Amino acid sequence: MKSVLICPADRSAVLQLALRQPLATVPILGRSVVEHWIEALAHRGVKQITLLAADRPNIVRDLTGDGRRWGVQVEVVPTAHELTVDEAARKIARRHPAEAVALENIVVIDHLPGQPDLPLFDSYAGFVDAARAWIAQACTPGRVGVREYQPGVWIGLRTEVHGSARLTAPCWIGDFVRVGENATIGPGAIVDDRCVVEAGSRVVEAVVLPDTLVGKFVSVTGSIAHGSQLIHCELNSTVEVPDPFLLADLTTRSRDPYRTTLLGRVAALFAMVVTAPFAVGMILLSLVRSYPPWHLRLGLRSQFPGKPVSHETFAYYELTGAKNWLRRWPQFWNIVGGNMAWFGNRPLRPTQALVLANDFERLWLAAPVGLISLADAYGCPDGISDEAMAHASFYAVHRSVRLNAFILSRTILRAALVWPIRGHRRKDTAVPLQTLVPKQEL
C-alpha cells in the first residue's frame, strides 16, 4: 500500500511559523506534523510514502530520513511549488507508471490525521485549536516518554515540575521541560519539549514551541511563544521580545549545523600552509604588474534550519590574476574561521541572490557555503547560470559524504589539468582618434 503526502508551502496566514522551518516540520506535541502523519500511516499498514515538498525539501529529508524508524519506506521528492491532489497524481504516474496511487491516498498535510475539519495553517488560532484537540491522541503506542499524570494532564517522563506548580487540564508538558515554583500551566496549554517555564509564570490557552524560555512572572495567554517571538492568535500580531529574561530561544548559542568540524579546520590550515609558496608567488607577481594582490568579496551566509531566514553576510578574498584553486587560496582561512565549509555551494553576493526567483532556485542558500561545489566538479564557470543553479539545488537536496567525495575527486582532477595563473595582457590605453574628433561630413 502506498500513500502520497503533499507538504504545505505557501500559507501567508501563518507566515511566522514558516520562517524557521517548513510548515510540514513545525513541531506539535513533541513531534512534527509530517512525523505524526507518517506514524499514523504506518499504523494503518502503509509501506511506501512519498513526500512532495516544495519548501526546503532538504530539511524535510533530514527529519524523516528513509522512514526506517517507522518501518516504512519514505521518499522525499522536491517540487517547484505546492501541488494539488490531481497534479500530484499525475507526477507520481510519470515517475512510477506501474504504481498507480488512488486519489484518496494523496493528502495535503495541512491538518493532523483524523482532523480534516481543524486546519493547522489557516490561522494562528486554528493552529492552537488543532494542537489542543490532538492532545488526547498524541500518546500513540509508539511514543515512549510521556504519561498521563492526572486526567487531562500529560507530562514527559524526563520533565521536572515543581511541587507548587498548578497544572489544570487539559494541558500537555513535553519531555525535558522544567517548570518552576508557583507556575501555572493550563487550561488549554501546551508546553513542548526542552522548554523552561520559570517561577511565577502563566501559560494559559497558549502553545509554547520547543526550546523556549518563559521568564519569571511572564504570562503567555492566547498566544504562541516560539523563541523570542510572541504571536497573538486573535490579533495576528507578532512581537520580537528583546529581553532574553522574559522570552528567549534556548538554541541561539547552539552550533551552526553547517560549520566545519575541528578536523576540517585543521585540514584547511594545513592546506593553506602547504600551498602558501604558490600564493605568495602570485601576490608578488600581482605587485610587479601593479595590480592589487587580492579582491574583497561579500557573500551571503547559508540559511540553515532552526533559524529564521536571514541575510547575514561575511567577507572573503580572491587572489588577483589567479584562476582555479589558486584564486580561492585565501578562502582556506574562511574555513578555519568557520565561515565556510570544504563542500557546499559557492557564496552569492547580495545582488546575485536577488536573481533567485523561486523556492527551487533559492535552495542555493539552503546548503553550506563551500570552498568547492558540485558546479566546480562539472566545470561550470563562477556566477549565476541555469546550469550552476541546477547543480546548487541538487546539492542542497542530496548532499552526502558520497557526493562530497565525488566532488573532491572531480575537482582535484580538473585543478591538475589547468594552469592556475592567468596570462597577462596589458590593456591598450590609447583612445582612437575618431572617438575624440567626430567625422566631418563632406
pLDDT tens sequence across 181-209? 999 999 999 999 999 999 999 999 999 99
What lies within 8 Å, CB to CB, of 48 at 6+ separation is 1, 2, 3, 72, 73, 75
pLDDT score of 269: 93
Whole-angstrom Cα distance, residue 21 to residue 393?
A: 17
pLDDT score of 127: 93
Specify the CATH number for 2-121; select among 3.90.550.10, 3.40.605.10, 3.40.50.300, 3.30.565.10: 3.90.550.10
Range(s) of the chain covered by CATH 2.160.10.10 = 144-249
Q: All 3 cell numbers of residue 353?
A: 541572490
Long-range contacts formed by 180-183: CB under 8 A, 24+ apart: 180/216
Tell me: the pLDDT tens digits for 416-442?
777 766 655 544 444 454 444 444 443
Q: How far is CA 103 from the centre of its chain?
A: 30
DSSP β-ladder status, 178-179 and 160-161 = parallel
pLDDT score of 440: 46
Q: What distances in angstroms separate CA 239 from CA 231, 232, 251, one per listed residue? A: 7, 8, 19
pLDDT score of 88: 84
Whole-angstrom Cα distance, residue 346 to residue 350?
A: 13
193 C-beta neighbours (distance < 10 Å), count: 21
**What DSSP state is assigned to residue 345?**
B
Provide the residue type at 217 as one letter.
F
Q: What distances in angstroms separate CA 313 from CA 126, 295, 302, 334, 347, one per listed residue? A: 37, 16, 9, 13, 10
Which backbone phi and psi does 430 adopt, to 5 degrees? -70, 135
Alpha helices in 399-438 (DSSP H): 401-416, 433-436
Q: How far is CA 316 from the centre of its chain?
A: 23
Whole-angstrom Cα distance, residue 372 to residue 406?
A: 11
Q: All 3 cell numbers of residue 205?
A: 490557552
- Fold held by 144-249: UDP N-Acetylglucosamine Acyltransferase; domain 1 (2.160.10)
pLDDT score of 141: 55
Task: Give every strand in the sheet of 171-173, ordered side by side.
Answer: 146-150, 153-156, 171-173, 189-191, 207-208, 223-226, 229-232, 237-240
Alpha helices in 275-330 (DSSP H): 276-288
Whole-angstrom Cα distance, residue 282 to residue 264?
A: 25
Torsion of the alpha carbons at 395, 39, 36 and 157, rounded to the nearest 10 = -110
pLDDT score of 337: 86
Burial readout 299-313 (b: 16 or more C-beta within 10 A, e: otherwise): bbbbbbbebeeeeee
Which backbone phi and psi does 312 adopt, to 5 degrees? -70, 145
- Interhelix angle 262-274/276-288, nearest 10 degrees: 50
Q: Which residues of the chain have pLDDT under 50?
A: 253-255, 305-310, 426-431, 433-442
pTM: 0.59
Polymer length in residues for the chain: 442
Range(s) of the chain covered by CATH 3.90.550.10 = 2-121
Whole-angstrom Cα distance, residue 306 to residue 3?
A: 28
Whole-angstrom Cα distance, residue 88 to residue 79?
A: 10
